[in-house]
Structures are given as C-alpha cells and as structure tokens.
C-alpha cells in the first residue's frame, strides 16, 4: 500500500504544473518579506515608535515594479480557478458547487484569525493600551485582509468569466481593460477615491483572465520573442501612465484601491514567468525545491493571513524580554531581516499545523445533492467577503474584528450546507 501511495503521489506531481505551485509560494514569501522590511520597531527615550524603513529607502519606488506581485498572484489564481472550474464541470458539478467550495477554502482559515483578533483587540482595549498605538498596530495587522475581499469577489465570478473566456477571450480582456480605465477616469474626474473600489472587479478579473490563458497553454505556445515583447510592452505602458501625475509610480500605492497600471504589470509578469518556465520546471524536479514548496505552499493562505499578527506579536515578546532592537533602516537592522523571515515563516507554519482543521476543503457532493440556492449563497458570500471589505475600507478595529468573528463563521457554515435535488 505504501508503494502504491507513493506511485499515486508521483503521478499527481507529474500531471501538475509545479511552476504554478512555485510561483504561488514565492508570491506569499515575497509578501512576508515586504512586510517585515516595511515594519521597523524603534525603542527610544520617548517610548516605542513604529517606522517603515522599506518605504524610506531611495530605491523603494523602483523596487515596487518588481516586488509588487499581487497581479501575478491573481494570474496564478486564475490558472488554479480555470483548472478547478473545469474539474468541477467534468465531474458533473456546477457554478454553485464551485463558488461554495472556493469560498470555503478561502475563508475557513480566516475564522480563527478574526476570533483571535477580536479577543486580542478587546483585551488590549480593556487594559488601557494607548488608542494611537493600538490603532497603528491594528492598521498594520489588518492591511493584508483586503486580499480576502478581492479574491473572494473574483472567485464568485469564475463561472461567468470562464464562459466569457470560452466564447471571446480577447474581447473579454479588452472590455475589462476599458472598464478599469473608465473607473479610474471617473475617480480622477470626481475626486472621489471610493469610486476606485469598482476596480476590484475589472483589474483583478483582468489578471484572472490572463491565468485562464495560461491554463489554456496560450503563453506556452508563444515564442520567446513574443513573450519578451509582451513583458517590455507591459512595463513600457507603465512609464507614461505613471508620468502624467494621475497614477503613482509606487505600485503598492496603486493597490488600494487597484488601478489600471496593475493590469499592465500583470501582463509583464505573466510573460516573464513563461520566459522562465523552463528553468523553473527543472528547479521543481529537485527534491529540495519540491519539499520547500510543499512545506510553505500547502499552508500558503494561513501564512499570508497570520504572518503580520505573528510578526508584531514576536516583536512584542522581544520588547517584554528586553531584547536589543537595532535602529530600523540601519545596516544591522537589514542584516537581521533574513533571520526575521525564517522565524516568522516557521512560527506561521507551526500555527498552520495547529489550525489544520480550519484549512480543509468541503467534502464533495454525494449524488442527488447540491449546494444551497443562489439566495443562500449570496448571503453567505456577503457574510464572508463583507468583513474583509469592511477592514479594507475602515481598517481593522475592535468593531470590524467582532463583525468578522461573527459573520465569517456564519458564512462558512451556510456555504457548507447541502440540499437534496428533486
């Protein structure tokens, strides 16, 4: 039985594009790297201060053109969504099954996070933590949660977008690009920043559709010259866009809410990944690379959700223990970042193992059953996506954490229900 299981594992690995797993894992790790270099804790005569050494570096803006990987994350998500949707359809499932399954996989790991945040913020408030310090810490902890809202929206749209992709892939991409530009135009014309929230759809769906093309093998069939041209064109488009004073050259600033330059960055990143696909495939044939990707990648969502709370908690423990803190931004501080990365990843993976029950998929439907009807799924989607959207807009606070601690579990329960078919 052990030999048979090993054979099945090897067959499964052979049938997967392991580069997708590598890129997804690398994106998560790079997000952690960005955050641990963006948060610097200084201890001085006036108390504790939190600074952002990364943003103060002279090369920071240029680095965001490489280090802003969220467009690529949505491209990879589009690949996984296309494969998942086709698998659902092949086994006789439908849109409701797909949406419920994907939302549960996305939001079930967020249940313990919202519960812990609600308790922690409530306790910190009760013991009299200075509101300014608590607000600053909560803002940092909650900043990655926008992804839950944005990715949840794209997952709800996969069945529709897959059909549009099958009928008219290029018209769909073009329409999304035009919509993203129109939303930005209205935002700039009115001066109402909230208008930009509408681009949670077009910008990220555009990147997702590129992932559909990847799953189709479109990028793999292109010559290296075409791929180089696509990458150059994507980056070249950013130059005039970020030079007219409307869009920021800082690609992280263009993230909240998402703006048109991220769509062009997604094109460039997708082409670059395909250009490197051969070497990356050879890398993923090695046992060490497969092990690293498996260890970090299998808990990728938990690592993403928990790394900032854990990083801040670890800093708090170090402060209580009286550990020395190098001056943020100094050579000594930068030298400690690799160790900080290893510690945060190790602790996050440990937390993921403890919370493994929450990171499990829905069981497949048995014959004669289906997921709840669209009205119930709509309520469940609002319960899960809504709190993350609230954090994105209002920032993390005791109130938004409590709302998430109540609604997200309710949404997950609703998504897990089944109904009998007549």
DSSP-derived letter for residue 45 is T
- Give me the residue spans of the domains in the chain: 48-283+366-420, 298-358
Q: Tell me the pTM.
A: 0.92
Q: pLDDT-based confidence at 12, cuts 50/70/90?
A: very low
Share the mean pLDDT of the chain: 91
13 pLDDT more than 80: no
292-328 confidence digits (pLDDT tens): 999 898 889 999 999 999 998 998 899 888 888 888 9
Q: pLDDT-based confidence at 11, cuts 50/70/90?
A: very low
Q: Measured at the alpha carbon of residue 52, what is the angle toward residues 34 and 32, in degrees to the nearest 5?
A: 20
Q: pLDDT-based confidence at 9, cuts 50/70/90?
A: very low
Q: Is 384 exposed, middle or buried (0-12, 13-18, 19+ CB in 10 A)?
A: buried
341-399 confidence digits (pLDDT tens): 999 999 999 999 998 888 888 888 888 888 999 999 999 999 999 999 999 999 999 99
21-44 confidence digits (pLDDT tens): 999 999 999 999 999 999 888 777
Q: Which residue in 59, 92, 52 sits closest to 250, CA to CA?
A: 59
Residues in CB range of 41: below 8 A, 6 or more apart: 48, 49, 50, 315, 319, 325, 328
52-67 confidence digits (pLDDT tens): 899 999 999 999 999 9
136-166 confidence digits (pLDDT tens): 889 888 989 999 999 999 999 999 999 999 9
Q: E strand or H helix at 48, and its extent?
A: strand 47-51
Lowest mean pLDDT among 108-117, 133-142, 384-393, 401-410: 133-142
8 pLDDT more than 60: no
Phi, psi (rounded to 5 degrees) for 111: -60, -55
Lowest mean pLDDT among 176-180, 226-230, 367-371: 367-371
pLDDT of residue 2: 46
Task: For residues 100-121, give the mean pLDDT.
Answer: 95
Task: For residues 214-239, give the mean pLDDT.
Answer: 97
- In the chain, pLDDT over 70 holds for what percent of residues? 95
Question: Distance (Å, rounded) from C-alpha 403 to C-alpha 391?
Answer: 10
Task: For residues 64-87, give the mean pLDDT.
Answer: 95
């Amino acid at each position: 039985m052990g030999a048979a299981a090993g054979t099945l594992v090897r067959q499964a690995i052979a049938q997967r594009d392991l580069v997708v797993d590598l890129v997804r894992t690398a994106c998560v790790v790079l997000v952690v790297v960005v955050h641990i270099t963006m948060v610097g804790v200084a201890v001085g005569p006036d108390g504790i201060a939190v600074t952002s050494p990364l943003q103060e570096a002279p090369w920071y803006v240029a680095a965001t053109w490489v280090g802003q990987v969220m467009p690529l994350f949505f491209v990879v998500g589009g690949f996984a969504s296309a494969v998942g949707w086709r698998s659902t359809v092949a086994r006789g499932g439908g849109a409701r099954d797909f949406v419920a399954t994907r939302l549960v996989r996305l939001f079930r790991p967020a249940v313990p996070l919202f519960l812990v945040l609600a308790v922690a913020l409530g306790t910190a408030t009760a013991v009299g933590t200075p509101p300014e310090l608590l607000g600053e810490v909560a803002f940092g902890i909650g900043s990655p949660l926008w992804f839950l809202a944005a990715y949840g929206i794209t997952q709800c749209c996969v069945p529709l977008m897959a059909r549009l992709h099958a009928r008219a892939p290029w018209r769909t991409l073009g329409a999304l690009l035009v919509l993203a530009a129109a939303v930005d135009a209205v935002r700039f014309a009115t001066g109402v920043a909230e208008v930009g929230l509408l681009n949670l759809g077009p910008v990220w769906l555009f990147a997702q559709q590129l992932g559909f093309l990847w799953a189709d093998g479109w990028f793999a069939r292109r010559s290296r010259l075409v791929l180089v041209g696509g990458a150059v064109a994507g980056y070249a488009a950013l130059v005039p866009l970020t030079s007219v004073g409307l869009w920021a050259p800082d690609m992280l600033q263009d993230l909240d809410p998402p703006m048109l330059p991220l769509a062009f960055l997604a094109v460039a990143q997708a082409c670059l990944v395909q250009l490197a696909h051969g070497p990356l495939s050879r890398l993923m044939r090695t046992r060490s690379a497969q092990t690293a990707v498996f260890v970090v990648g299998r808990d990728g969502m938990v690592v993403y959700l928990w790394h900032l709370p854990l990083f801040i908690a670890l800093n708090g423990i170090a402060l209580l223990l009286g550990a020395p803190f190098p001056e943020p931004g100094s050579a000594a501080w930068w030298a400690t970042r690799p160790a900080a990365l290893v510690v945060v990843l190790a602790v996050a993976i440990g937390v993921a193992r403890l919370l493994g029950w929450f990171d499990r998929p829905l069981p497949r439907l048995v014959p004669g059953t289906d997921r709840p009807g669209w009205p119930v799924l709509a309520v469940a989607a609002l319960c899960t996506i809504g709190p993350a959207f609230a954090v994105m807009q209002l920032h993390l606070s005791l109130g938004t954490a409590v709302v998430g601690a109540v609604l997200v579990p309710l949404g997950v329960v609703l998504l897990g229900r089944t109904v009998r078919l007549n």
